[in-house]
Amino acid sequence: MSTLSTLQTRDAIASGKISAVSHISQYLKTIESRNKEINAVLHLNPNALQDAKAVDEKIAKKQKVGKLAGLGIIVKSNICVKDLIANCGSNTLANYVAPYDADVIQKIRAEDGIIIGMANQDEFACGASGETSAFGPTNNPAALGFVAGGSSSGSAASVAANFCDIALGSDTGGSIRNPASHCGIVGIKPSYGRVSRFGLIDLSMSLDQIGPLARDVEGCALMMEVISGYSQNDPTTMEKSVDNYSDASKSADVSKLKIGLSTDFEKLCVDKRIYKIISDAVASFKPKNILLKHVDLAIQTYYPLVYVEFYSGTRKFDGRRYGKKIEDSCGDEVLRRIMGGQEISKAEHAGKYYRTALAVKNEIAHELDQAFDSVDVIVLPTTPILPHKIGSQISVEAMYAYDAFTGPANLAGCCAGVIPVGKIDNVPVGLQVYCRSGNENIMFAFLKHIESVIHQ
Amino acid sequence: MTSNSQSNQSSIQSTQSAQSSAQSAKSAASVARQEQIRAQAKKIMDNFFVALKNANISDNQIGVNRKKQTRKPESRKNDDSNDSFRQGMFANAPNKDIDHIVAEKKHW
């Protein structure tokens, strides 16, 4: 199963060489045998095999099938899938059954993708290690005993453990890219507004994006083709047409791309071995050094914005309509963000924390925008350190520092992606790229190129 | 009331009392936890704020300038362009001051 690429698998199912039922059955067996150890999947879709059978019947009748025909999809538990539990990794919503499909799920179903189940995650996406879930930490299939990263821990681990073809995660400050890097897979944070957030239980609405994780670039590109586009349910979505991302390597000439590296990121990279792997991987492009003066303030900028927006967003969890009262049922990190958000939103502060963070956010976005005038792609590490062992004592500030290289893309709204480029101490390391907002086709072309070089 | 039923009632009361004290202790622990986390969060935010302030980036262009945007009470005193609309809007208001509804929570 894993020897075929995502597109090859899709084509084999669509042509009837592999049945969708046998394909999904194989994943269900793997989940049954390994999920106790990995703890990536929280709930299975009881209709998965029935949905797969419907795809097989379409193929047998020679009816047209969708782009995701028979592919198995696992969904982060903060994205609503009708009749499945969307608990956000929290006791607050432990038994909350989603009453409708998120926009992205409707699109996946329309393209014949099969929803296999719901993934574990950091509680309400508050975390960078996968350890804040009320349902236990997720083990890293690529480096057992280490954290899978977060907050889309279960989504990344599901892909890495062969529980599915593609997973959906959400990325507010690195929650797709961080676990993708730690688990040795590909993960994409779309440009802000590229993918509808309708049906996503928000962490911070001005930064959140839903994105794909897969074992190869084509898998992510294919899913991006399906889930991207304007939605009247989400007024922040772009009206820009969606490119054929899975064919992006043919639409952009990689040899002509201008690549940028920044010594500002090098300074922030605690484990210099990580920076060396990344810079070596793109050395043949003779990258240009770019200046990003305020990028070292990304963490200090990101968290006040998240605290305030998260505090505001959680006021609906008062125990009346949705689950339990959040303050009485959540873990420490969620409570920290609620209490911190409440504290700095007080009238006596007149918005000074949020306004100051917003000003620096704009400055970082401006600096990145200027950088994109001279380069097409910025290459950088995904995290400043390797993942820690599950259960290690990590300070709050050290945990927040995992987002140092991923947060700027959310602050600027640009698109970003991660691809595995090597290992240090047997732990995967992901190379991260940023491209200007809306330039997903360039990003996929470059990632595809890096993937082909690594596979040689 | 028999001595048996008195003893049962006393047992129920003592169980209720024990449950109530356990709940109070739990509630106090929960409040203490919240306050400890609140203080920790505020400290983190304060440290971040200092770092951001030191960057000296002006926030003049961010958000709404409240002083400029706040409506002056006198500004429409002589504007009678839509009296019937105004009368309709203010018909049910218990207290009003020309163009403003004077509202208090739970009083309308």
User: ipTM, 2 decimals?
Assistant: 0.91
Q: Do A335 and B33 touch (CB under 8 A)?
A: yes
Residue linked to tokens 């950091």: A122
CA distance B104 to chain A (A): 19
Residue recorded with tokens 């189940």: A117
Q: Do A304 and B34 touch (CB under 8 A)?
A: no
pTM for the whole structure: 0.88
Which amino acid is it at A127? G
Chain B interface mutation, best of A268, A303, A310, A339, highest count of B Cβ atoms under 10 Å: A339
Using a CB-CB distance cutoff of 8 angstroms, which residues of chain A are in contact with residue B40? 336, 396
In chain A, whose CA is at the least distance from the CA of B38?
A: A339
Integer-rounded Cα Rg, in Å, for chain A is: 20
Q: Which string of DSSP letters, residue by residue, matches B19-66?
A: HHHHHHHHHHHHHHHHHHHHHHHHHHHHHHHHHHHHTT---TTSS--H
CA A115 to chain centre: 17
| Least Cα separation, residue B34 to chain A (angstroms) | 7
Interval A264-295: pLDDT, tens: 899 999 999 999 999 999 999 999 999 999 99
How does pLDDT run along chain A (456 residues), one tens digit per residue?
458 999 999 999 999 999 999 999 999 999 999 999 999 999 999 999 999 999 999 999 999 999 999 999 999 999 999 999 999 999 999 999 999 999 999 999 999 999 999 999 999 999 999 999 999 999 999 999 999 999 999 999 999 999 999 999 999 999 999 999 999 999 999 999 999 999 999 999 999 999 999 999 999 999 999 999 999 999 999 999 999 998 876 667 898 999 999 988 999 999 999 999 999 999 999 999 999 999 999 999 999 999 999 999 999 999 999 999 999 999 999 999 999 999 999 988 888 899 999 999 999 999 999 999 999 999 999 999 999 999 999 999 999 999 999 999 999 999 999 999 999 999 999 999 999 999 999 999 999 999 998 877
Nearest-angstrom CA–CA distance, A106 and B90: 46
Domains of chain A: 6-249 (3.90.1300.10)
